[in-house]
Structure 1
Amino acid sequence: MKKYRITVNGKTYEVEVEEITAPAPAPKKETPSVSTIEAPKAKAEPAPTPAATPKKATPAGKLTINAPMPGTILSIKAKPGSAVKKGQVIMILEAMKMENEILAPQDGKILSIEVTEGSSVNTGDILAVME
């Protein structure tokens, strides 16, 4: 194995590469021809707007915690009325087979939890309200 140091966007990474000594596949005898075909121009039509899900109004001075991505609520760690610290886990959201922790953005009190365990959420859906 050989070690390399690679810099991508200002970050340096160390990688190990293993050399595989398998024979390379034989090149194909035929060369595919490539041609450019211009697609017909379609009239510009406005894209259909998805049906908006009604969102609850947030009282003034309250903070909503929204879903960062679509997924399923696996577990709820905080209860309405409980005090939370900034960075404390409020709930676990599963998205693309990954468990994502939804954290409290500030110190405060959970006023309400707007979802239940097992429910599906979309990006931007209100998960909880806190003060």
Structure 2
Amino acid sequence: MKYIVTINGKKFEVEVERVSNGNGQTDISAASKKASSEEISKVVTSGIKISAPMPGKILSVNIQEGQKVKKGDVLFILEAMKMENEIMAPEDGMVEKVLVSKGAQVASGDILAIFK
């Protein structure tokens, strides 16, 4: 199931997955890791924010948390109006947090990742 979550006025699309524990019961606690609002606020307010320049769909995520990137590296491919747009690193750094996944719909200005 997909949901839209608003954090600090920004909308994020999240996907929730139901996981069965083998005996026909659903184990929700094993399927998700809860992030506190303090953790989210800390990540969103610090570091270099990489945001979507236009609304569209994320076709690929080329980075992962903890990865070092150089200025100009392609971080994401964003499809908008049937065109593929490369979202590149504005400077050298390390990926602190990736906030979107492949297939996510994003709005203009949505934060995609945070760098240190």
Quote the offset at 1:78 in angstroms. 0.7
Give 5+ residue unaligned stretches, structure 2. 1-5, 11-39
Match in the other structure for 2:72: 87
Give 5+ residue unaligned stretches, structure 1. 1-52
1:1-131 equivalences in 2 (<5 Å): 53=6, 54-55=9-10, 57=41, 58-60=44-46, 62-131=47-116
Could you tell me the percent identity over the aligned residues?
A: 51
RMSD: 1.2
Quote the offset at 1:59 in angstroms. 3.4
Runs of 4+ in 1 over 4 A off after TM superposition: none
SS of structure 2 residue aligned to 1:87: coil
Amino acid in the other structure paired with 2:45: P
Partners in 1 of 2:101 and 2:52 — Cα distance? 13
SS of structure 1 residue aligned to 2:71: coil
Amino acid in the other structure paired with 1:114: L
TM-score between the two structures when normalised by the length of structure 1: 0.57
TM-score between the two structures when normalised by the length of structure 2: 0.64
Q: Which has the larger radius of gyration?
A: 1
Aligned residues: 78
Greater RCO (CA < 8 Å, at least 6 residues apart): 2
Higher helix share: 2
